[in-house]
Amino acid sequence: MPNNLHDNVCDENIFSSIFKRHSKDLHNFLYYKYGEKLNPQDKVQEAFVKLWKNCKKVLPEKAKSYLFTVGNNLMLNEVAHQKVVLKFQEVKPKSATHETPQFLMEEKEYMLKLQTAISNLTEAQRTAFLMNRIEGKKHKEIAELLNISTKAVEKRIYSALKQLRQEIEGI
């Protein structure tokens, strides 16, 4: 156990800096992997509470790994072997629109098919795909966050795109 105050995250400035640096990425990782139903924001807060409670045992350079492991474990405990389907926010229609009712209906059907197709991806594909397409993260960033190789990220995204093209080909 480190004795020097700066060798652990108990220092308020170090803890605050770790929070600012990793809280958004942790939230997005948990959201993409498990969906909104399981409230990833709460799990992020719980992970940081656990980090604070164990601050004397965690070196600053190990904090990110610790947070992602704790956050993932909190979600796994909540999942309890049920299949998680990613839930997307509904797009609110504009108050005045020039689109035809048929266009609006087709758009809604397309969004539903797209959501279903994304939820049918494996957890690994869905996480990498959404981090890349929604967050705009580079393959290298995703690889670091998921603790996998860049090639593995590329393969997950490529296979996700291939599966999505097959599932929504008819629309």
Same domain, 12 and 66: yes
8 versus 149: the higher-pLDDT residue is 149
130: containing domain: 101-167
Q: Which of 46, 79, 112 is a domain's end point?
A: 79
The count of structural domains within the chain is: 2
25 and 57 part of one domain: yes
Q: What is the CATH number of the domain that holds 114?
A: 1.10.10.10
Q: Indicate the pLDDT class of residue 6, thresholds 50, 70 and 90.
A: low
90 domain residue, yes or no: no
pLDDT in tens, 26-59: 998 888 887 777 778 888 999 999 999 988 888 8
Instruction: Give per-residue pLDDT as tens, 115-169.
Output: 788 888 888 888 888 888 877 889 998 898 888 999 999 999 999 989 888 887 7
Q: What is the pTM of this model?
A: 0.51
pLDDT at 149: 94
Helix or strand or coil: residue 28? helix
Mark which of 79, 110, 144 sits at the end of a domain.
79
- 63-78 residue pLDDT tens: 998 998 888 888 777 7
Q: Are 70 and 51 in contact (CB under 8 A)?
A: yes
Structure-token match 């803890």, residue found: 15
Q: Which helix (H) or strand (E) holds 58?
A: none
